[in-house]
Chain A
Amino acid sequence: MNKKEFIKALSKALHDYEDKDEILSYYEELIDEAVLNEMSEETFIFKLGSPTQIRETLLNDGSFKKRLKEKENFQVKRLFSTTAKLFSGIIVGFVAIVMGIVGFSFVIGGLSNSVAIMLRFIVNFPTKIEVFFFIISQLILGIGLLLLGIGILWYTVANTKIIFMKLTGKIDSSMDKRRQA
């Protein structure tokens, strides 16, 4: 990370701090001094720790707990976002299941049809209509596989998202506790 990237990330991490600008210029000055003292910018920034760690250190300092900007609508926002998360979770799950079911039945239908027509080919030469049906059943099989694939992918992504949400939720609540303490 270079200085510009670091300051940007730190600014984001400290967005709810009252004296964010002061902290930013403190770190900016430190980086400049380090470079002036022939230290590599990247090495020094690595030594500083991640913006999240810096935030943690500041939060752990007693006098800094109060410096968080008070958000009046904090509770409302939380409630809203929880409901939104729940709804999106249900919708995502529903879509995944529907896609899975449709995809699965398409695969079974397409596959059995294809096999049946293929078996028929062994017996004698296929008519044009039979070839046409064969192509259609192959197509259905393809669509089925595609839907099944998307469904599985969707489900996996949604699940990782839910795990991620739970994780961030935990962090949120632990920060709340700390703020109240």
Chain B
Amino acid sequence: MNPQLKKGFLETLVLAAIKEEPSYGYKIIQDVSEVLEMSESTLYPILKRLETQGFVTTYVEAHQSRLRKYYKITAKGLKEIEKAKDDFNEIESIYRYIMR
């Protein structure tokens, strides 16, 4: 996929990956990669950005004697997903136009 286009989608995909329940780095990569391939070093800046924008909050929890950092979606983050949903019709018509 076009890297520019991919970049825009990845942020929403990460938000969607933690929509149901909080998740952690390794799992987010696995989940998102099922739809769109994402590397470990791409995720970190995305998470950081989502955090500074107030779309996610983080907390640390012990897991098998290790610490795991969880990312939890905020109300603002959920709203962002809704916004992305609104884009769908537009994106669809863009592609209809491209592929005609």
Q: Which residues of A contact B (CB under 8 A)?
A: 19, 23, 25-27, 29-30, 32-34, 36-37, 47-49, 53-54, 57-58, 61, 63-64
Task: Give bound CA distance, A58 to B43, whole Å.
Answer: 10
Interface centre among A19, A37, A61 (most CB of B within 10 A): A61
Q: Which of A19, A36, A49 contacts B41 (CB 8 A)?
A: A49
- Say whether B82 faces chain A, with CB atoms less than 8 Å apart: no
Q: Which residues of B contact A (CB under 8 A)?
A: 24-27, 29, 39-42, 44-45, 48-49, 52, 64, 66-69
| B45 and A29 within 8 A (CB) | no
Q: Show 17 A/B contacts (Cβ-Cβ < 8 Å), sorted by A.
A: A25-B69, A26-B25, A27-B40, A29-B66, A29-B67, A30-B29, A33-B25, A47-B40, A48-B40, A48-B41, A49-B41, A53-B41, A57-B41, A57-B45, A58-B44, A63-B49, A64-B48
| B24 and A33 within 8 A (CB) | yes
| A58 and B45 within 8 A (CB) | yes
Question: What is the distance, in angstroms, from B33's C-beta to the closest C-beta of chain A?
Answer: 12
Q: Which of B26, B41, B49 contacts A29 (CB 8 A)?
A: B26
Q: With A26-B69, A63-B45, A63-B49 known to touch, is A49 a contact of B26 (CB < 8 Å)?
A: no
| A29 and B40 within 8 A (CB) | no
| A54 and B41 within 8 A (CB) | yes
| A33 and B45 within 8 A (CB) | no
Task: Give bound CA distance, A57 to B43, whole Å.
Answer: 10
15 extra interface residue pairs, beta carbon distance < 8 Å, beyond A19-B48, A49-B39: A29-B26, A29-B67, A29-B69, A30-B26, A30-B40, A33-B26, A33-B68, A48-B40, A48-B41, A53-B41, A58-B41, A63-B45, A63-B48, A63-B49, A63-B52
A-side contacts of B39, CB under 8 Å: 49, 57
Task: Give bound CA distance, A23 to B24, whole Å.
Answer: 14
Question: What is the distance, in angstroms, from B30's C-beta to the closest C-beta of chain A?
Answer: 9
| B45 and A64 within 8 A (CB) | yes
